[in-house]
Each structure stands twice: as structure tokens, then as C-alpha cells.
Chain A
Amino acid sequence: AQTVTQSQPEMSVQEAETVTLSCTYDTSESDYYLFWYKQPPSRQMILVIRQEAYKQQNATENRFSVNFQKAAKSFSLKISDSQLGDAAMYFCAYRSRFGNEKLTFGTGTRLTIIP
């Protein structure tokens, strides 16, 4: 079974600075997808970014980018120019490419933005 580990329960960053959230995962599969979800105080789960394991290029969405290290099974999220609206819980998640339809989540990192 796949597992996802987020070792930072809480992080904080000054507004306009850059912060990196860590995620590692364990799998025996070679093809899979990785996701970062954001959960603001409203509780709504919002997709931030996704990465296809067979693509070497790191995904980027505006101020959000990932550092995907397949051999190390690492998938960190970098937030540049942090804004107050980025304050939220961030969850890393894994999904198999074939067969298994489930999305497996890490335990989350609570990000605080300091004005």
C-alpha cells in the first residue's frame, strides 16, 4: 500500500517570502500522480498543483511549483511571494495511474503567513 508522509505539521513564512513544504511517499509503482491540495478555513479542498510521475519536468502554477525527485520519492511544494490568502492546511496526495482509483493523503501541513 502507498503511504504519504508530511513531516512538518506547521510552517510559517513572512508575507512576500518563499516557503517550501515537504512531502515524501512510498510506493512500488512506477507510474502515478502526485497532488497538492489546499484547505483554507472554509474547509473546501482546492487543488493547487499536480505532477505526473512519468514527466521529468516539474509542474508550475503561477506562484506554486514543485520539486519532484522520483528516485528519492520526494514531492515538495514551493510557494513564492507568499500572500495572506495562502494561509491554509496543505495536503500532499498520491494516486496510482492504473487500477487503483483511490487518492491517498498525507497528514497535512498548516501554513501561517506572517504580515
Chain B
Amino acid sequence: NAGVTQTPKFRVLKTGQSMTLLCAQDMNHEYMYWYRQDPGMGLRLIHYSVGEGTTAKGEVPDGYNVSRLKKQNFLLGLESAAPSQTSVYFCASSPPRQGISSGANVLTFGAGSRLTVL
């Protein structure tokens, strides 16, 4: 059982280049998330999805786009990379809502993807 898999794990980009981070989960989770982690700022939510075909903005969505065409995949795209997007990106997923205690459902995280924009 692989859990949450992120590819690639490392990438170096030049300013203005585009790229896509792929997140795949094999746990049949409804909810998926993209976070970025920067020193001293914790994890901040970029975009999230509560089901196939749906996406929503998080705390820091500017400069990113996402798609959830398949339930198991959540893609994060950078159309024109900027140095401010140098960060470690984490994907996470969570089980489907099941009754009133679903908020306790734990997020399962991928191993992270380190992106450097020069």
C-alpha cells in the first residue's frame, strides 16, 4: 500500500518555466490537498479538492493551478515559475466524510517535493 506518492521529489526550474507536480493516492480518499512549507511559516494550504472534478482555493493560491480529473490524482501546476515559489510542496489526502466525526479523519501526507526556482 503506497499511500500518497508525489512526483518528482526534487526539481530545479528557471524563472518563467512551467511544471506540474503529481500527487497520487491509493486509499480511495475523497479529499486531497496541496500545501507548501517555508521556513518559519509552517504549512500553508494552496488548493484543495473535496472530490473528483472539484477544486477550491486555499490560503496561498496565487500562481498555482490544480486539477482533479481522477479521484486518485491531484495535480499542482505552476504556469510561470517565480523565485518566491521556491519551497517544499506536500500533498495530502483524507478519507471521505463519514458522519459527524469525519473532522477527526487524519490527513495522510506524501514525502514532499522540493522545488527550487532560479
Q: Interface of A with B (CB < 8 Å)? A: 4, 6, 9, 31-33, 35, 42-45, 47, 50, 52, 91, 95-98, 101-108
The smallest beta-carbon distance between B45 and chain A, in angstroms, is 6
Interface of B is mostly: strand
- 1/0 per residue B20-46: CB within 8 Å of A? 000000000001010100001111110
**Contact, CB under 8 Å: A97 / B41:** no
**Contact, CB under 8 Å: A95 / B43:** no
- Are A103 and B40 CB-contacts (below 8 A) given A43-B112, A97-B100? no
Chain B residues with CB under 8 A of A42: 111
Q: Interface of B with A (CB < 8 Å)? A: 31, 33, 35, 40-45, 48, 50, 58, 88, 90, 92, 94, 100-101, 103-104, 106-107, 109, 111-112
CA distance A42 to B111 in the complex (A): 8
The smallest beta-carbon distance between A70 and chain B, in angstroms, is 15
Chain A residues with CB under 8 A of B48: 101-102
Chain A residues with CB under 8 A of B42: 4, 6, 91, 105-108
| A–B complex contacts, Cβ < 8 Å, 10 sampled | A32-B103, A33-B103, A35-B106, A44-B109, A44-B111, A44-B112, A96-B103, A103-B33, A105-B35, A107-B41
CA distance A97 to B100 in the complex (A): 7
Chain B residues with CB under 8 A of A47: 106
The smallest beta-carbon distance between B111 and chain A, in angstroms, is 6
**Contact, CB under 8 Å: A101 / B94:** yes
With both beta carbons as reference points, the residue of chain B lying nearest to A98 in the complex is identified as: B103
Q: Among B40, B43, B44, B104, which residue has the most Cβ atoms of chain A within 10 A?
A: B43
With both beta carbons as reference points, the residue of chain B lying nearest to A4 in the complex is identified as: B42
Chain A residues with CB under 8 A of B101: 52, 97
Of the residues A32, A50, A107, contact of B106 by C-beta under 8 Å: A50
CA distance A73 to B43 in the complex (A): 21
**Contact, CB under 8 Å: A98 / B100:** yes
- Are A43 and B103 CB-contacts (below 8 A) given A102-B48, A103-B33? no
